[in-house]
């Protein structure tokens, strides 16, 4: 498959399901806003910080390295060995869930059962849910490797919506159940998610015509199960070694990704109520990142991993592929910069209004608006880092991945210490400041790799991080106007003043986007062509 065909499939994977995912996320947004009005800050803190950290840590340690290793060079491999390797995530997940469950129950502070009832059951159920989700890992990797466009979006969005609906109903009807509500909803979510993948593959593998169109490396559901033969090894040892390299890196990356939750959980720098407010703001601030940046990062990681060869310099590879990768990277950096800058500039003036609409006085008063404003700056760094690391991890050799682990180790240590110090100094906003600092260091590391990678070639993809002066000026003027509008129109003067404030922001946003459309013609051309190319490149899903 040529690099441009792979690009078309990656673009389709990132863009075609975006509207559907936005719709599902908006439904979930409304349901969560409803749920928040029936919960205490303490329960929100325990569920969204303590129990969710247990669940995400188990999954991350059990599967992240396997995903990255098994999605590299997917066109040339023995898929039976790859599937065998992926099934090892299940016993690994059992180990981590048992070990971390013991830590959560025996070593961490247990909340007051009168305020947060059934904590022990919550720990057990969230750990078990992680193991259930790992049962679908071979299906997920196979779907990603063959770029099944809508499956991932529909499966995850449907699971999240049904989970939110179930949570809302149980909170409304049985509020005294406490953590039973969230434990049942979490288990229901993982079961629905796995079943979506299982049912999809059972359907296409059960139909000979459909299976032939998909050109899958398996012909029946039994081929997806672990298998052992005397003629070959149980797993591909090169993939296994790469998995171990990624595992060491993933362990450190998890600390960076969930660092503030680890500090809150193990060092008790915030009470459960403050943890709840921080996590709500964190989830709200990262909504755009999950909707836009994460699909782009996951999809184009596959593109870069397929187009570029890990062990070769850019000058030693097929120059057409290198050129296409450079052009894509430049456009993605420009898109991330513009999106992140828009969120930062307009988020500053509309944070308090958004929190008041979403969660009422519990969020819009106190530290909530300051947290969300700081998080808007973090989103800008998060967007750029997602694209740069997407390319870096796809292009690095195994030895470079191992060397990068040492950098991640130092970064992880500094992040934890900085989070603790800044939180003691300025409260929960210290977590976001520490995240910004460490994200800046990670971006610097990735930019250095990209610069060295393309240094001897005529391509300069880092040009995507520059903007024309007229566009920068438009951002600055829009930021000043919306900040003044917030002072005079929001949020103590009633709904008419709030609507006027929203109208001012909409006008400034329209002018800013229009300026970007006129000045960033290269990016607009990229978006137009890639929204059209996939329809010709992949009509199978």
Arithmetic mean of pLDDT over the chain: 83
Can you give the pLDDT at residue 403? Answer: 80
Model pLDDT for residues 414-469, shown as the tens digit of each residue: 878 888 888 888 888 888 898 898 889 889 989 998 998 888 888 888 988 999 99
pLDDT grade for 539, boundaries at 50, 70 and 90: very low
pLDDT grade for 535, boundaries at 50, 70 and 90: very low
Lowest mean pLDDT among 34-48, 52-66, 82-96, 243-257: 243-257
Tokens of 424: 């003691």
Backbone angles phi, psi at 432, to 5 degrees: -70, -40
Q: Do 339 and 292 contact (CB within 8 A), yes or no?
A: yes
* pLDDT over threshold 60, residue 536: no
- Taking residue 341's Cβ as centre, other Cβ atoms within 10 Å add up to 22
Q: Do 224 and 218 contact (CB within 8 A), yes or no?
A: yes
How many residues appear in the chain?
541
How far is the CA of 261 from the CAs of 273, 385, 413, 416, in angstroms? 14, 20, 15, 10
* pLDDT over threshold 60, residue 253: yes
pLDDT grade for 252, boundaries at 50, 70 and 90: low
* pLDDT over threshold 50, residue 537: no
* pLDDT over threshold 70, residue 500: yes
Percent of the chain's residues with pLDDT above 90: 30
In eight-state DSSP terms, residue 317 is: S
Does the predicted TM-score (pTM) go above 0.85?
A: no
Tokens of 416: 């934890």
Cα 259 to Cα 282: distance, rounded to the nearest angstrom? 13
Model pLDDT for residues 52-84, shown as the tens digit of each residue: 999 999 999 899 888 888 876 545 667 888 888
Can you give the pLDDT at residue 541? Answer: 35
Dihedral sign, CA of 390, 394, 398, 399?
negative
Dihedral sign, CA of 272, 273, 279, 280?
positive
Tokens 């608006």, residue? 369
Backbone angles phi, psi at 76, to 5 degrees: -125, 90
Can you give the pLDDT at residue 471? Answer: 95
Task: Find, among 531, 463, 526, the residue nearest to 328 by Cα.
Answer: 526
Cα 122 to Cα 48: distance, rounded to the nearest angstrom? 12
Give Dmax (Cα) for the chain.
77
Cα 204 to Cα 208: distance, rounded to the nearest angstrom? 8
How far is the CA of 166 from the CAs of 152, 184, 391, in angstroms? 21, 9, 39
Report, as an integer, the average pLDDT of 470-483: 95
3-class SS shares of the chain: helix, strand, coil, % to 5: 80, 0, 20
Task: Find, among 122, 146, 156, 136, the residue nearest to 63 by Cα.
Answer: 136
Q: Do 239 and 81 contact (CB within 8 A), yes or no?
A: yes
Backbone angles phi, psi at 115, to 5 degrees: -90, -40
pLDDT grade for 24, boundaries at 50, 70 and 90: low
DSSP conformation letters of 106-119: HTSPPPPTTTS--H
Lowest mean pLDDT among 165-169, 207-211, 363-367, 483-487: 207-211
> Which three-class secondary structure state does DSSP give residue 219?
coil
Cα 488 to Cα 484: distance, rounded to the nearest angstrom? 6
Can you give the pLDDT at residue 526? Answer: 84
Can you give the pLDDT at residue 102? Answer: 96
Cα 275 to Cα 428: distance, rounded to the nearest angstrom? 8
* pLDDT over threshold 70, residue 127: yes
How far is the CA of 376 from the CAs of 199, 286, 485, in angstroms? 39, 9, 18
Task: Find, among 1, 20, 110, the residue nearest to 537 by Cα.
Answer: 1
Can you give the pLDDT at residue 6? Answer: 58
CA within 13 Å, CB half, 126? 28
Cα 79 to Cα 133: distance, rounded to the nearest angstrom? 21
Tokens of 292: 């836009």
Burial of 333 (0-12, 13-18, 19+ CB in 10 A): buried
CA within 13 Å, CB half, 182? 27
């Amino acid at each position: 498959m040529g690099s441009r065909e792979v690009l078309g499939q990656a673009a389709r994977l990132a863009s075609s399901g975006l509207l559907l995912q936005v719709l599902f996320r908006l439904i979930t947004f409304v349901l969560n806003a409803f749920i928040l009005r029936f919960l205490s800050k303490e329960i929100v803190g325990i569920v969204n910080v303590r129990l969710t950290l247990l669940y995400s840590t188990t999954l991350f340690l059990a599967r992240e390295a396997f995903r990255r290793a098994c999605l590299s060079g997917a066109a040339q491999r023995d898929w039976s060995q790859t599937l065998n390797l992926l099934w090892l995530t299940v016993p690994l997940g059992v180990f981590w869930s048992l070990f971390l469950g013991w830590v959560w129950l025996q070593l961490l502070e247990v909340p007051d059962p009168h305020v947060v009832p059934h904590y022990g059951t919550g720990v057990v159920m969230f750990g078990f849910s992680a193991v259930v989700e790992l049962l679908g890992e071979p299906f997920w990797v196979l779907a990603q490797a063959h770029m099944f466009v809508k499956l991932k979006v529909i499966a995850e969005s449907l699971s999240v919506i049904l989970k939110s609906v179930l949570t809302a109903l149980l909170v409304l009807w049985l509020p005294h159940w406490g953590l039973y509500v969230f434990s049942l909803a979490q288990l229901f979510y993982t079961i629905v998610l796995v079943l979506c993948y299982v049912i999809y593959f059972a359907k296409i593998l059960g139909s000979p015509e459909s299976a032939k169109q998909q050109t899958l490396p398996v012909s029946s559901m039994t081929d997806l199960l672990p298998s052992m033969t005397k003629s070959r090894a149980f797993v591909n040892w090169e993939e296994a070694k790469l998995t171990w390299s990624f595992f060491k890196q993933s362990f450190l990356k998890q600390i960076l990704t969930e660092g503030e939750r680890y500090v809150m959980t193990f060092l008790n720098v915030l009470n459960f109520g403050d943890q709840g407010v921080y996590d709500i703001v964190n989830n709200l601030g990262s909504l755009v990142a999950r909707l836009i940046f994460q699909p782009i990062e996951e999809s184009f990681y596959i593109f870069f991993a397929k187009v570029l060869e890990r062990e070769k310099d850019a000058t030693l590879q097929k120059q057409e592929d290198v050129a296409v990768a450079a052009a894509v990277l430049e456009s993605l950096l420009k898109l991330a910069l513009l999106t992140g800058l828009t969120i930062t500039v307009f988020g500053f003036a509309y944070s308090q209004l958004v929190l008041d609409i979403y969660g009422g006085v519990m969020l819009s008063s106190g530290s909530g608006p300051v947290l969300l404003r700081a998080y808007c700056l973090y989103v800008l760094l998060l967007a750029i880092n997602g694209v740069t690391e997407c390319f870096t991890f796809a292009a690095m050799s195994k030895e470079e991945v191992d060397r990068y682990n040492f950098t991640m180790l130092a970064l992880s240590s500094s992040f934890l210490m900085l989070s603790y110090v800044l939180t003691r100094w300025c409260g929960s906003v210290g977590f976001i400041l520490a995240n910004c600092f460490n994200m800046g260091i990670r971006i610097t590391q990735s930019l250095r790799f990209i610069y060295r990678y393309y240094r001897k070639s005529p391509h300069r993809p880092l040009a995507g991080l520059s903007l024309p002066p007229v566009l920068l000026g438009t951002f600055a003027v829009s930021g000043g106007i919306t900040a003044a509008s917030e002072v005079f129109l929001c949020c103590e003067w009633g709904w008419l003043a709030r609507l006027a404030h929203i109208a001012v922001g909409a006008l400034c946003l329209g002018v800013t986007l229009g300026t970007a459309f006129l000045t960033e013609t290269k990016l607009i051309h990229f978006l137009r062509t890639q929204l059209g190319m996939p329809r010709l490149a992949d009509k199978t899903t």
